[in-house]
A and B are shown apart, each in its own frame.
Chain A
Amino acid sequence: MSDLVNKVAELLNAPVDLVQRSAEARAQASGVSVDDVLNSWAGGESVAASSAPAAKEEAPVEEVKEEAPEELVEEIEAQEVVEEIVEEVIELKKESSLAFVSGVLLIGIFTFVFAFVIPKNQSISAVESSLNNSVNVSSEVLKGAEIYGELNCQSCHTQNVRTLIPDTQNGKVLKNKYANEALIRNVGTIRLGPDLSTNATREPTNNSQWLRRYLTDSSSVNRDIPHPNYGFLDDSDLEYLVTYLLSLGEINE
C-alpha cells in the first residue's frame, strides 16, 4: 500500500500525503477501493472502467470508450487527476491576502488603542480626579514658552524629573496636570544639557540678568560648555523667554 502511494507520488511529482488524501477522496466518490484508484493512477486498470459511477457521469465515459482506445481513455483520466492534484497543491500554497491584511490591521488597531488611546484617556481621567490639576501661568510666560518651543530648546533640555534616584535628590517630580500646549511640548524627551525644571529656584539661573547674558553671549559666562547664542531674538522675545525660564519651578509645584 505505502509502496503504491510512494510510486504514484513519484509518478505524479506530488507529496505522498496529498496523493493519499486525493486517492481516498476519489475512491469515495467513485465507490471503489483506494488501492484500485492508486493502481489506476500508477498505470493499471482505469477506475472509471471498473467502477459504477452515477448515470450522468457514466454516459460520457462510455462514449469516450466507444470512440477511443482504452489506453487513451486511461491517459486522459490520469491527466485529469494530475490536474486535480496540481490544483490542490496550489490551493494549499495559496496565502490569503485578506487574512494577512486583516492580521496587520488588527495589530495596528490594537497598538493604537491599547498603547495610545486607553493610556492617554487614563492619564486625563487621573488628572480630572486630582485636586491640584492645572497649571495657570501668565500670558508673558506662555509667550516665552512658545519661543522656547520654536527654538527647540527641548531637543537638549528636559523639564522632566522622574521618580528615580538620579532625579529625585534635588528636584520636584513632574506631576501630570492640564496645561497649555506650549508648556506640554517643552517637557522634552532627551537630556543632552541640564534639566531646567527647577531653573528658577537655583543659582545662578534664577537671575534675570545672568540669563539674558547667557542667552545672548554664552561664552562670556561659561567658555567650557557650548550653548547657542540667541542674539538674533528681538528684545521683547528675549524678555518673554527669560520670564518663562524664571517661572520654571513654579510650574512643577
Chain B
Amino acid sequence: MKLKLIPKNEQELSKLFVLIFPLIVLLASFTSFLKDAYFTFANLIPNNKIFNYGFLDILNNQVIYGLLFATCICLSFTYLFSKSLGRIAVLFPLLFLTLLGLVGTEFLDIIFSFFYQDGINLTGSNSLLIILKVLVGFGLFGLATLNLLAKKENSIFASAQFIYGAIVFYFISLLISRSELIVFTDSLMISSLHTSSLKYVAVSFIFLAVVHFLMTKPLGATLFNKTLTAISFWGFLFLLPWTNFKYYFGSVMPNWLENVSIYLSLSLLIPLLAFSVNYVKTIQTKEDEGNKSSSLMSFSVVIFLITNLLHIISSFENILPLVGLTNFQNVINQGYIGSLVLAMISFVYYLIPKLFGRSVKYSRLEDLIFSGFKFLYPVLLINNFLIGVNSGYSWNAGANTGSPTIYGEGFNILWGVVGINYSTNTFISLLLMALSFLFFVSVARSISSGDVTTVEEMVFSNE
C-alpha cells in the first residue's frame, strides 16, 4: 500500500480519508458510549471536569457533527465531486490544504475543548477556532464554486450537486454559530437553524450524494429520472432548513416562523416521494448485484426515509406538544447521521478495491458488521423515539392530574417510565462501539492483506 505524503490528484487524496474514516467512526462510537454511560450511571461512577455528562455530550457532538462529518465531506468531495469536473481540480494544492484544514480544525476543536472549557459556546465550539473554521469553510465553498464553474463535463452529476448543496449549508451553519446572543429568542433561533442547516441539510445531502452514486455505478444501474433528482435536490434544499423551528412551538420565537416551519415540514413529502420513486426505479434497472455492502446502502435509505417520515408526522399540531423539546429531536438527528454513516461504510467497502487495488473478502466478520448495524441502529432509534414520546405523554398526563413531571418533584414518575430505555441506550452504544471496532479491523485487514486487484484509473487531464 502506497500513501503519498503530498497527493497529486483527488484519487490519491481519497485514500487518506478512506483510511481515517473507520478510526473516526470508532472514536465517535466510543464518545457516544461514554456519554450514555455517564448519563445512566451518573451517580455511580466518579465525575470530574472531563468525565461528566455535560462535557461528554459536547465532546460527542463535536466528534460526530464536527470531525466525522468533515471526514465524510472530504471523502465524498475528493472522490465524487471530481467525477463532475472531467479534470484535476482547479488549484488542487489549495484544495488539498483546505480539506486537511477542515478535518484539522475539527480535530483541534476537540483537543482544545479538553483544555479551554470556558470557551465552549452554544454549538460546542471554541470561539477562536470557529473563526478559523469559518475561513476554512469559506475556502472550501469558494474552491467548490470555482471548480464547478470551470468544469469540462457537459452535465453536473447528481452527487456533485448534493455535495455542493451540503458545502453551502455547512458554511451557513458556521456563520450562524458566530451570531450574537442578545435576547432570549436568539438561543432558540441560533440552535434551531444551526441544527437544521448542519444536521439536517448538510448531513442528508452528503448522504444523498453517496447514495446517488452507489445506486447507479456499482450496481450497473441507470438513474431513472433526472427530473425526480432535481425535485428531490431543490425540494430538500429549500424545505429542510426550516423544519427544526417547529419543535419550539409555543416558545418565544415569532409565531409565523413556527407556523411556516410546520407547513414546510409537511411539504417534505414531495422531495421524499421523488427520491423514493427514483431510488426504487433506479434499483430495478440494476445489472450487477454489487458487493455485499450494497445491502447496507439500501438499509441506510430505509433509515433516511423513516427519519423523514417521522419528521413529517411530528409536524401535526396535536403531536408537536408531545415531541417538542424531548428526546424525539435526537431521533431525527440520529436518523440523518446514521443513514450517512451506514452509506459511507458501504462506500468505503466499494472504494477499497478501486483505490488500494485490494479486494475485500466478505467473510463472517463483514456479515457480522452489516447485520449488527442493521439490527442495532433501528433499535437505538426506536428506543429514543419511545423516550421522546413517553416523556411528552407523561408531561401531558402530569399536567392534567396536577402533578407536573416537568419539574423536580414529579420527575420520579417520568424516570420510572423512561429510565429503562436510557439503560438500553447505553447497552446499544456499547455494542455499536464493538461493531465500529470490527469495521476498523475489517478495513485494515482488507487494505493490508486483501488479494491484489486492478486499481481504478481516473482520467485526469487539464489539457
A residues within 8 Å of B by Cβ?
90, 93-95, 97-98, 100-101, 103-105, 107-108, 111-112, 115-116, 119-120, 122-124, 127, 146, 149-153, 155-156, 158, 160, 162-167, 169-171, 174-179, 181, 184-185, 187-195, 198-199, 202-205, 218-219, 222-232
The reply to whether B151 and A97 contact each other, CB–CB distance below 8 Å, is yes
List of 4 A-B pairs having minimum Cβ-Cβ separation, nearest first: A152-B54, A162-B250, A166-B395, A123-B185
Q: In the complex, what residues of B have CB within 8 A of residue A120's CB?
A: 179, 185-186, 189
Pick from B251, B329, B406, B407: contact of A174, CB under 8 Å: B251
The reply to whether B250 and A163 contact each other, CB–CB distance below 8 Å, is yes
- CB-CB contacts below 8 Å: B190-235 with A: 191-193, 197, 234
* CB 8 Å contact bits of B156-167 with A (1 = contact, 0 = none): 100001001100
Known contacts A123-B254, A162-B250; A226/B42 CB under 8 A: yes
The reply to whether B39 and A226 contact each other, CB–CB distance below 8 Å, is yes
Chain B residue nearest in CB terms to A231: B47
The reply to whether A150 and B120 contact each other, CB–CB distance below 8 Å, is yes
Pick from B53, B118, B325, B402: contact of A160, CB under 8 Å: B325
Pick from A104, A166, A192, A231: contact of B392, CB under 8 Å: A166
Q: Does B364 contact A (CB under 8 A)?
A: no
Binds A, one of B1-9, B103-111, B237-245, B282-290: B237-245
Binds A, one of B90-98, B168-176, B267-275: B168-176
Q: In the complex, what residues of A have CB within 8 A of residue B57's CB?
A: 152, 155
Pick from A111, A155, A203, A218: contact of B409, CB under 8 Å: A203
Q: In the complex, what residues of A have CB within 8 A of residue B165's CB?
A: 104
Q: In the complex, what residues of B have CB within 8 A of residue A178's CB?
A: 182-183
User: Once the chains are docked, how many angstroms separate the CA of A238 from the CA of B237?
Assistant: 46
The reply to whether B117 and A108 contact each other, CB–CB distance below 8 Å, is no
The reply to whether B396 and A105 contact each other, CB–CB distance below 8 Å, is no
Known contacts A103-B234, A170-B399, A185-B187; A152/B47 CB under 8 A: no
The reply to whether A229 and B47 contact each other, CB–CB distance below 8 Å, is yes
The reply to whether B330 and A190 contact each other, CB–CB distance below 8 Å, is yes
Chain B residue nearest in CB terms to A122: B254
Q: Does B31 contact A (CB under 8 A)?
A: no
The reply to whether A115 and B149 contact each other, CB–CB distance below 8 Å, is no
Q: Does B375 contact A (CB under 8 A)?
A: no
Pick from A98, A176, A225, A228: contact of B252, CB under 8 Å: A176
The reply to whether B251 and A97 contact each other, CB–CB distance below 8 Å, is no
The reply to whether A185 and B179 contact each other, CB–CB distance below 8 Å, is no
The reply to whether A190 and B327 contact each other, CB–CB distance below 8 Å, is yes
The reply to whether B406 and A166 contact each other, CB–CB distance below 8 Å, is yes
Pick from B54, B161, B321: contact of A228, CB under 8 Å: B54
Pick from B38, B149, B155, B252: contact of A95, CB under 8 Å: B155
Minimum distance in angstroms from B329 CB to a CB of chain A: 6
Minimum distance in angstroms from A160 CB to a CB of chain B: 6
Pick from B122, B189, B400, B412: contact of A225, CB under 8 Å: B412
Q: Does B415 contact A (CB under 8 A)?
A: yes
User: Once the chains are docked, how many angstroms separate the CA of A90 from the CA of B154?
Assistant: 7
Q: Bin chain B's interface residue count.
A: 35 or more
Minimum distance in angstroms from B386 CB to a CB of chain A: 14
Q: In the complex, what residues of A have CB within 8 A of residue B189's CB?
A: 116, 119-120, 123
User: Once the chains are docked, how many angstroms separate the CA of A14 from the CA of B148?
Assistant: 28
Q: In the complex, what residues of A have CB within 8 A of residue B151's CB?
A: 97
Chain B residue nearest in CB terms to A96: B156
Known contacts A190-B327, A194-B408, A228-B47; A175/B252 CB under 8 A: yes
User: Once the chains are docked, how many angstroms separate the CA of A205 from the CA of B409?
Assistant: 9
Chain B residue nearest in CB terms to A111: B241
The reply to whether A123 and B250 contact each other, CB–CB distance below 8 Å, is no
The reply to whether B407 and A194 contact each other, CB–CB distance below 8 Å, is yes
- Having A120-B179, A175-B184, A194-B407, one finds 6 other A-B pairs with CB under 8 Å, namely A155-B58, A158-B325, A176-B185, A185-B187, A188-B187, A225-B419
User: Once the chains are docked, how many angstroms separate the CA of A58 from the CA of B398?
Assistant: 94
What are 20 pairs between A and B in contact, CB < 8 Å?
Answer: A101-B145, A104-B165, A108-B168, A112-B176, A115-B242, A122-B254, A123-B253, A146-B118, A149-B120, A151-B52, A152-B57, A167-B250, A170-B407, A175-B184, A187-B188, A202-B407, A204-B408, A224-B416, A228-B42, A228-B52
B residues within 8 Å of A by Cβ?
38-44, 47-49, 52-55, 57-58, 117-118, 120-122, 145, 148-149, 151, 154-156, 161, 164-165, 168-169, 172, 175-176, 179-189, 191-193, 197, 234, 237-238, 241-242, 245, 247-254, 256-257, 321, 324-327, 329-330, 391-392, 395-396, 398-400, 402, 404, 406-409, 411-412, 415-416, 419
Q: In the complex, what residues of A have CB within 8 A of residue B49's CB?
A: 232
The reply to whether B43 and A218 contact each other, CB–CB distance below 8 Å, is yes
The reply to whether A194 and B411 contact each other, CB–CB distance below 8 Å, is yes
Minimum distance in angstroms from B231 CB to a CB of chain A: 13
Chain A residue nearest in CB terms to B144: A101
User: Once the chains are docked, how many angstroms separate the CA of A33 from the CA of B182?
Assistant: 74
The reply to whether A205 and B184 contact each other, CB–CB distance below 8 Å, is no
User: Once the chains are docked, how many angstroms separate the CA of A146 from the CA of B118?
Assistant: 8
Pick from B42, B44, B175, B183: contact of A127, CB under 8 Å: B183
The reply to whether A95 and B53 contact each other, CB–CB distance below 8 Å, is no
Known contacts A119-B189, A152-B57, A166-B398; A171/B148 CB under 8 A: no
Minimum distance in angstroms from A98 CB to a CB of chain B: 6
Q: In the complex, what residues of B have CB within 8 A of residue A166's CB?
A: 321, 392, 395-396, 398-399, 404, 406
The reply to whether B415 and A162 contact each other, CB–CB distance below 8 Å, is no
The reply to whether A97 and B48 contact each other, CB–CB distance below 8 Å, is no
Known contacts A90-B154, A122-B254, A164-B249; A184/B404 CB under 8 A: no
User: Once the chains are docked, how many angstroms separate the CA of A181 from the CA of B354?
Assistant: 51
The reply to whether A219 and B251 contact each other, CB–CB distance below 8 Å, is no
Q: In the complex, what residues of A have CB within 8 A of residue B43's CB?
A: 218-219, 223, 226-229
User: Once the chains are docked, how many angstroms separate the CA of A178 from the CA of B184?
Assistant: 7
Max chain A CB contacts within 10 Å: which of B197, B247, B404, B406?
A: B406
The reply to whether A232 and B48 contact each other, CB–CB distance below 8 Å, is yes
User: Once the chains are docked, how many angstroms separate the CA of A194 from the CA of B408?
Assistant: 6
Minimum distance in angstroms from B111 CB to a CB of chain A: 18
User: Once the chains are docked, how many angstroms separate the CA of A191 from the CA of B391?
Assistant: 9
User: Once the chains are docked, how many angstroms separate the CA of A146 from the CA of B55?
Assistant: 14
The reply to whether A195 and B407 contact each other, CB–CB distance below 8 Å, is yes
Pick from B149, B180, B248: contact of A101, CB under 8 Å: B149
Chain B residue nearest in CB terms to A182: B181
Q: In the complex, what residues of A have CB within 8 A of residue B253's CB?
A: 119, 123
User: Once the chains are docked, how many angstroms separate the CA of A167 from the CA of B121?
Assistant: 27
Known contacts A169-B399, A175-B184, A178-B183; A155/B54 CB under 8 A: yes
